[in-house]
Structure formats: C-alpha cells, structure tokens
Homo-oligomer: A and B are copies of this chain.
Amino acid sequence: MKFSFKNDYSEGCHPAILQALLEHNLDQQAGYGEDEYSLQAKELIKEKIKNPNSEIYFVSGGTQANLIVISSVLRPYQCAISAASGHILNNETGAIEATGHKILSIEKQDGKLAPEDIVHVLENHRNVPHQVMPKLVYISNSTELGTIYTLNELEDLSKFCKENKLYLFMDGARMGHGLTSEISDLTLEKVAELTDIFYLGGTKNGALIGEAIVINNQELQQDFAFNIKQKGALLAKGRLLGIQFLELMKNDLYFDLAKHANQQAMKIKNAMKEKGVHFLSDTYTNQIFPILNNDLIEKLSEKFEFYVWKKIDGNFSAIRLITSWNTDDKPVNDFIEILKNEL
C-alpha cells in the first residue's frame, strides 16, 4: 500500500487519546459538554492562553467551527473578509453564505491579510445601505498555503481591526503547525490577546475530531452556546471532545505533535532545496508545495499518494505534500531517497 502525504487526517488519533477514552469509558458523565473532562480541558486551555475570561467551546470540525463563529458574530447585513485562498471561500460548500453572510475575497499570493489589503475593501464598501458592511476579518494560521503570521504582522492586523471596529477571527485548524514552525515568533498566549476569537484545531493534529473555539472578546461570548446547539454541533457525549483536548493539552502534547509534523516536512523540503528544487511558496509548516518534473512526479506516485496541486508548464507541476503527527521517518526517508536518486 502506498504511503499517503495527501493530508494530516489519514490516521486515527494519538494513542494517548485512545488510552484515555478506554480508561474513562464507563464513567457516567453529564451530557452536552458538562462532563468533567471538558471542564478540565477548558481550564487547561485558559491557563495556556493566560486568560481566565475567555470562553471555550468544543465542536467537531473546522467548517462547523467557522460557520458557527461567523454566523453568531455577524448581524444579517454584515460580512466577512478573507484572503482568496481562505478555506471558507473555497472548501466549505458555501457554508458561510448558507447562514446568510457574504464573504469578500482578497487576492493574496501568500494567503495572508495585512491592513493595507483591508483598507481597500473598506473604502469600496461605503455606499450605505446598498452594500454589505464588512465586520469580521478571517485569517488562518498556518494558512491554507502553509504560510504563517509573525507576531508583528498579527499585532498590526489586530490594531487595525480594533481601530476599524472589525472582529479578528483566526481559523486555527492548523494552529499547532503555525505556532511550532521554526520561524514562528507567535505564541498561543499572543494569539488569544490579539484576536477576538480563534480556534485550536484537533482534527488535523492528532485528535479523532474536535476544534476548540476560544472567545476572547467578552461581547461575543453572550449566549454563544445557543448557536452551537442550533447548528447541530452540540454533542450529547461531549466527553468525546473533552477527553481528547484534555490529553492534547496535557504536557503540551498538542504542540509536540505539530512540531513533529513540521520537522518531517522540513526534512523533505531541505533535501529538495539541496537538489535545487523550487517551491510555489516558501513554507515552514507541515505543508510544502515543491515544483517537480512530471516524470519525477510519476515516479514518486508509484510509492506515495499526494495531490498534484498546479500545472506550471508542459514539463513541471507543483505537488502538495502534507506530513502529520504520525508521519514516521521511514516514509520520509524513502521519499527523500527516491528524490536524491532521481534528481
């Protein structure tokens, strides 16, 4: 069977999580997130972000988190702003629009938004009341293109949003990978300080399911639980989410897993760079986009699965490789060996 570099959710979950599920399996617990594991996990997250006033909710997946957050934060006539590569724009079957809200799209090569991008959008949306009102800025870290925000960049964006009465929402489906990137100077504490709301992705970092929505802006906390229930996201057995996040947060397992994924990707990237390979974008997380000769791509695909991301010209294409918390050295080394032999 081929080893898959297609995504970071091909396997089950980290063994410690399964172990905890086994251990607590027959304990009776309150439903709907009132179980003791969920309560403990929330406390742990609050400690890590050093904000006892944040409120935390666990949901199953990223699209669900995005649609609940955005629809609960915006008034009917308000809209979100996103980079054109944003997950909410391209890969969620119109989930946000289905809740009634437009997303304004900004073309960015690196998938990241900066104040100057947003200024332009604001200037073009002043024909009251004939246009939607921009009210929420959606960013991802790491982004859908594997890039990350620096502390400086996030501070600038946060300041700009406050000045312009925009909410700043960070999609953290790959937050672990973003923060443990070798070039990141951002911390979870800073993310909590600089955003109104964000989530910590579990699904792509060792959990079976689960994203932890963290609401820092207190005016957005009111009645939030209603939205989760109304969108069908309140699990009867909330314990499943609580146990997972409790394990991930203990001893920073969450960050260790992400760091491992990043390192495996960097091994491949560095081996490629030594061989003169170019990349679609210069990423330092668990997603890399090397541009390879089509013959080599074919050769690699005999033993590995991955997405051919973009045709570059008649001979070359960019592929996407994703490593995960569970990507061992063996497939990485095997992959590199083929590369070295062929390049």
Stretch at the interface among A69-77, A136-144, A266-274: A69-77
7 contacts between A and B (CB under 8 A): A9-B236, A98-B231, A129-B228, A132-B226, A133-B226, A208-B237, A232-B232
Closest chain-B Cβ to A310's Cβ sits at a distance in Å of 12
Chain B hits for A251, CB < 8 A? none
The 5 closest A-B pairs by CB, nearest first: A64-B232, A77-B226, A12-B25, A129-B225, A94-B132
Give 17 A-B pairs besides A7-B31, A129-B229 with Cβ atoms closer than 8 angstroms. A10-B28, A10-B31, A11-B25, A12-B240, A18-B25, A32-B130, A72-B75, A76-B99, A90-B131, A97-B102, A105-B105, A129-B230, A129-B234, A130-B229, A203-B235, A208-B237, A232-B232
Stoichiometry, as copies per complex, reads 4
Say whether B93 contacts A132, CB under 8 Å: yes
Closest residue on chain B to residue A130 by CB atoms: B91
Measured between alpha carbons, how far is A63 from B131 in the docked complex, in Å?
12
Query: In the bound complex, what is the Cα–Cα distance between A131 and B29 (angstroms)?
Result: 22
A163 at the interface (CB under 8 A from B): no
Contact of A236 among B32, B61, B79, B232 (CB under 8 A): B61
Interface footprint category on A: 35 or more
CB proximity to B under 8 Å, residues A216-266:
223, 225-237, 239-240
Whether A3 is near chain B, meaning CB under 8 Å from some CB there, is yes
Q: A21 contacts which chain B residues (CB < 8 A)?
A: 12, 18, 21, 208
Known: A76-B72, A91-B130, A225-B128. A236 touches B204 (CB 8 A): yes
Tell whether, in the assembled complex, residue A131 and residue B236 are in contact, meaning their CB atoms are under 8 Å apart: no
Contact A91:B227 (CB < 8 A) given known A11-B25, A25-B18, A209-B235: no
Question: Which residues of chain A from 45 to 102 have any CB-CB distance to chain B below 8 Å in the complex?
Answer: 59-68, 71-72, 75-77, 79, 90-95, 97-102
Point out which of A60, A76, A235 has the most chain B C-beta atoms below 10 A from its C-beta: A76
A115 at the interface (CB under 8 A from B): no
Q: Does A24 sit within 8 A of B, measured CB to CB?
A: yes
- The answer, yes or no, to whether A215 is at the interface (CB within 8 Å) is no
Please give, as numbers and ranges, the residues of chain B lying within 8 Å of A15 by CB-CB distance: 25
Tell me whether A13 is interfacial, beta carbon within 8 Å.
Answer: yes
Residue from A12, A59, A128 having most chain B Cβ neighbours under 10 A: A12
Report which A residues bind B (CB closer than 8 A). Answer: 1, 3-4, 7, 9-13, 15, 18, 21-22, 24-32, 59-68, 71-72, 75-77, 79, 90-95, 97-102, 105, 127-133, 203-204, 208-209, 223, 225-237, 239-240, 326
Interface-central residue, A10, A28, A61, A208, by most chain B CB under 10 Å: A28
Provide the residues of chain B in CB contact with A234, threshold 8 Å: 61, 63, 129
- Docked-complex contact A94 and B77, CB < 8 angstroms: yes
- Contact of B27 with A11 in the complex, beta carbons under 8 Å: yes
B231 and A129 within 8 A (CB): no
User: Which of B12, B76, B235 sits near A60, CB closer than 8 Å?
Assistant: B235
Closest chain B residue, CB of each to CB of A72: B76
Indicate if the CB atoms of B63 and A203 lie closer than 8 Å: no
Asked, given contacts A26-B11, A232-B61, whether A237 binds B209 with beta carbons under 8 Å apart, the answer is yes
Given A21-B18, A31-B9, A223-B133, the answer on whether A61 and B204 have CB atoms closer than 8 Å is: no
